[in-house]
Amino acid sequence: MGLLCLTDLKTVGQVRILARDKIRAGHVEVRNLDIMAADSRSGTERPNGFGVFVLQGAFTLWNLQSDPAARVTADISGLSAGRANAPVLGSGVFVGGFGTTGGSVQIQELVTGPVYSDGRIKPGTPDLISGGVFVVHGATVDLVNNEGPVTTFGVNDMALDNWGTVDRWFGAKKITTHGASGIGFVNFGVTRQIKLASPIETFGQGARGFNVYAGTVEKAEFDRIVTHGDGAVGIQISQAIGEIAVANGVETFGGTGPSLVKGVVQELSAVGLSIKPGGSARAISIHGGLKTHNPGVNPLEQEGTIDKLLIEDGFKRQQPE
């Protein structure tokens, strides 16, 4: 398709760029694209992995060629979707390739302004998710930079989700989820560095703060992580990772409840920091304390290994009355 440029646009409706049929290569430049409203839920083609399907986004860049030689490149900045009182329906931003093998999307920068999305997924659906900013398998991104807030409102809505390969993922503004089984940041791919300068906060049953369920994260730095629902773990690790640092504490307010994990609803407690069997970390440091507010919920659950653990300002566990 050669060079495709989208510059200084405000749109209503999904912006979807697909590489399929005879389109096997090309470069996409996006500069200042504001998708004011869109509904991408009717897209029947959905990537599948880890027990779930993913809804397409208000902005979708997707290489559907099965040939690994088919490659689309992109450079994206100033991309916004939805409004705080009127989110786009489906995912917000979606970039991906054919799968773990096949055609790829290679992005130099993916820079977003405000993103507000709501998948409108029916409660109790175990095999469908959406995301505010979603890097799907087959996508490689040098830098994801969320300059604006990312907020999701529905069931199974992830705010930030990586199934691909991201070198650096930065965020300046708050990351928020409001639905059951939403997650602030979830990793299934390879993320080398995460740095979020504002809090992650989740509201809803089973809505966790930060998870690594597959792949790995080399280094993650967070300002603060707070969850409010039953089953809403603060940080949960079930893979080998590098380092995590939190500047202003991890705090949970919920008890035990159901949460969607890799396409299966499980009962979880709103533990502050959970290292599951098979999970490990070279170093975890949490300044500002590790706190739970529901009686019987432990601040720390360690079934894996941590080489170096620092909790500054202590543990707090609410005692039964």
> What pLDDT is stored for residue 266 in this prediction?
79
Model confidence band, residue 320 (pLDDT cutoffs 50, 70, 90): low
Residue 149 lies in a domain: yes
Phi first, then psi: what are they for 229, rounded to 5°? Answer: -100, 165
Residue 45 lies in a domain: no
Averaged pLDDT score across all residues of the chain = 95
Residue 243 lies in a domain: yes
> What pLDDT is stored for residue 74 in this prediction?
98
Closest CA to 68 of 99, 44, 96, 109: 99
Residue 296 lies in a domain: yes
Residue 43 lies in a domain: no
Q: Which domain holds residue 285?
A: 3-36+50-317
Distances 315 to 250, 281, 289 between C-alpha atoms, Å: 10, 19, 6
CB-CB neighbours of 287 under 10 Å: 14
Is the pLDDT confidence value at 26 over 80?
yes
Length of the chain: 321
Residue 41 lies in a domain: no
Distance of CA 270 to the CA centre of its chain: 19
Residue 129 lies in a domain: yes
Q: Which two tokens stand for residue 238?
A: 């079930």
> What pLDDT is stored for residue 321 in this prediction?
52
Domain count, the chain: 1
Q: Which two tokens stand for residue 132?
A: 């505010």
Model pTM score: 0.95
Is the pLDDT confidence value at 303 over 60?
yes
Residue 106 lies in a domain: yes
Question: Cβ neighbours of residue 114 under 8 Å, at least 6 residues apart?
Answer: 80, 81, 82, 84, 148, 149, 150, 173
Model confidence band, residue 264 (pLDDT cutoffs 50, 70, 90): confident
